[in-house]
Amino acid sequence: MNDTTAATDISSRPAQAGASDLAMLGLAQAAAAISRGEVTSEAYTSALLQQARTQTELNSFISVDEAGVLAAARDADKARAAGSAAPLLGVPFGVKDSYLTKGLATSLGIGGLRHFVPEEDADAVRAIKNAGALVLGKNNLVEMSFGLTGSNGDFGQVKNPHAHDRVTGGSSSGSAASVGAGIVPASLGGDTVGSIRVPASLVGVVGFKPTTGRWPRTGVAPISHTLDTTGAFARSVEDVALLDQVVTGERDRESFKGGRDLTGVRLAYAPRQFLDLVDPEVEARFHESLRQLRHAGAELIEVDLGDDYGALIHSATWGIFFHETMGAVSEFVRRHQIPTTFDEIYQALKPELRDVWGHMVLPGGGGAISQEAYQTALTVSRPEIQRRLDKVFVAQGAAAILQPTTPSTAPLIDQQTNFTIAGKDVTYLALATNTVSASSVGLPGISLPMGLSSDRLPIGLELDAPLRSDRALLGLARRVEAILGARAGTF
């Protein structure tokens, strides 16, 4: 936590008895306990603030609004006494600092904006606050959400709660770390090619990317209007499903229950596409998870998406990603009256990121995507990707496609730019090798913990489902979570 504003002034007063136990309550558990009067919002919030004090080394927050969230907690307790039944009444949550937050500084990960205070909330923040939840603070992130490891030139490196010498993944690095460390029960993040699912996998929490456009995106700093997706981290699928219901208003036709029976459920996996370059321990854990799911009654089918599938999704997705960034960022700062310009943001980037933007994002860059290539990605490549996926979902009846979320566990911080996977030298972009598939056409995807490596680092399992099948995916994920038994915080 960086003491960049008055909101970051966390005192060192001792925690109340039982604070660590309170802090480990999940979102739904905390909401229920506060609603029943078993714990006050003030006591729960104080426990979370104590967790924040003791885990400042993680650098998961840019700012924590201690005074504001405690005052809001007391107000929530008064509201509860007066009969309020808001579904998230009195429960604090974290917010990636790419989301506008009314009255709280919003930096977008850029040091020059550390004192910018919006006059409005992003739509997703407003929806959760309207349900009674409280903003504890703003989570650290990669500058402009442009990175996959968690390094920020102005606000510092976010560290993995499981091993402080390891990255968290990015770009929603602080959001994942704060949930994994028990500082907040849930946090909002953003995902364009994997920025929720990658850190969820590396930190060992649940990370949910809804169908693109299903959650509101207004008020969140963009990268690509075609690919950007807002979403969330939590410690269980139950908690993510509760947030999804609050944000979208969508309820299940049947009660949302877990269970360990997958009889009649068909699940697909594509080893030629998603296991081509994977660390042996990750692959072994994935196959063990498949065995557990088969034992629970699931029908596992092996599919092949084509020799060129990897090249197709990466060229199309990254081409759209880079081509849309300049226009998306420029429009965002203008529309929301943010006191900066695209050029000022570009100049403020850390050198290595500025080089990437200069090469790929600026129109005159050597790697800039032409308008013709961009249109081909939108009108030819994406429909072809969707056609191949529809063969799995529609023709073959699969409820989801499974793969390791990331091909390796968290790399060392001092090797985050270049490291090895299965003995092969790779760059940090390899962390999104599998997540980019769902991003390419906007599928809903969720990363679940599926165990630990021999050196006690989390390994994630991703489930991708058909477009707009989000609630069915969450129901399936809850059953998979119960079967694998590898929930966050229980390793």
pLDDT above 90 (res 256): no
Together in a domain, 356 and 275: no
At 178 the pLDDT is: 98
CATH value at residue 46: 3.90.1300.10
> Where among 248, 279, 301 does a domain terminate?
248
At 426 the pLDDT is: 98
Together in a domain, 37 and 83: yes
Residue 362 φ/ψ region, left for φ over 0, alpha for ψ in the -120 to 50 degree band, beta for the rest: beta
CB hemisphere CA count around 96 (13 angstroms): 34
Together in a domain, 270 and 228: no
Whether residue 222 is contained in a domain is answered as yes
At 486 the pLDDT is: 79
> Where among 345, 371, 397 does a domain terminate?
371
Rounded distance between C-alpha atoms, residue 103 and residue 95, angstroms: 13
Together in a domain, 351 and 443: no
- Give tens-digit pLDDT for 387-397: 999 999 999 99
Whether residue 4 is contained in a domain is answered as no
209 is annotated as an active-site residue = no
Residue among 35, 41, 60, 96 flagged as catalytic: 96
Together in a domain, 302 and 334: no
Could you list the residue range(s) of the whole structural domain that residue 406 is in?
266-309+383-484
Whether residue 9 is contained in a domain is answered as no
At 14 the pLDDT is: 35
Residue among 195, 236, 408, 447 flagged as catalytic: 195
> Where among 248, 281, 301 does a domain terminate?
248
78 is annotated as an active-site residue = no
Residue among 107, 171, 439, 447 flagged as catalytic: 171
- Give tens-digit pLDDT for 66-88: 999 999 999 999 999 999 999 99
Together in a domain, 294 and 198: no
Together in a domain, 427 and 302: yes
Whether residue 212 is contained in a domain is answered as yes
Together in a domain, 24 and 41: yes
Whether residue 378 is contained in a domain is answered as no
Whether residue 11 is contained in a domain is answered as no
Whether residue 255 is contained in a domain is answered as no
Q: CB 247: neighbour CB atoms within 10 A? A: 23
At 252 the pLDDT is: 78
Together in a domain, 421 and 358: no
Band the pLDDT of 16: cuts 50, 70, 90.
very low
Together in a domain, 345 and 426: no
Together in a domain, 479 and 434: yes
Whether residue 146 is contained in a domain is answered as yes
Together in a domain, 172 and 79: yes
Number of domains into which the chain is organized: 3
